[in-house]
Amino acid sequence: MKIGILTISDRGASGEYEDRSGPLLAEMVGERTGWEIALQQVVADEFDLIANTLRQWCAAGVDLILTSGGTGFAPRDVTPEATKAVLERETPGIAEALRAESLKVTRHAMLSRGVAGIRGRTLIVNLPGSPKAVRENMEVLLPVLPHALELLADAPGSEAGHRTI
């Protein structure tokens, strides 16, 4: 599997802030799955930049793109809108599950506007920007990713014998 990790942060893109969420995602995915992190980048909260990066990575054959940041209420938080512009099919169950589990930790989870969906054979999932929230969300997401990506690759394995992470 080829994985892309896209951090969306004005301060991170300008060098004012060290991205901690992207490296955490790479660490968690690598440790738990062994999948290759093919692309990792930090971009500013710019609609066209986010959407174009997602399109390019999908065209490059990335199987999974995890975004971090830009999912809140701030005026420059446009990650969900940029992602929706790229998606061919939404997968609302993923975003709903992430918010539902996060609500067990903080009421502020209801302020997350992250989306998830499919473009071609690529799954794209928006995650919050904080490392704490990234870790909590990935604990929910990681167990279902292998099966989801097998289905997208049109190579589903036996559900009964499916390995959990």
Question: Residues 2-48: pLDDT tens digits?
Answer: 999 999 999 999 999 999 999 999 999 999 999 989 999 999 999 99
- When the candidates are 2.20.28.90, 3.40.980.10, 3.40.50.300, 3.40.50.620, the CATH number that belongs to 2-152 is 3.40.980.10
| Structure confidence at residue 155 as a pLDDT band (50, 70, 90) | confident
The pLDDT > 70 percentage for the chain reads 94
Domain locations in the chain?
2-152
- Can you tell me the distance from the alpha carbon of 22 to that of 105, in angstroms, rounded to the nearest whole number? 21
Q: What is the pLDDT of residues 74-102, one digit of tens each?
A: 999 999 999 999 999 999 999 999 999 99
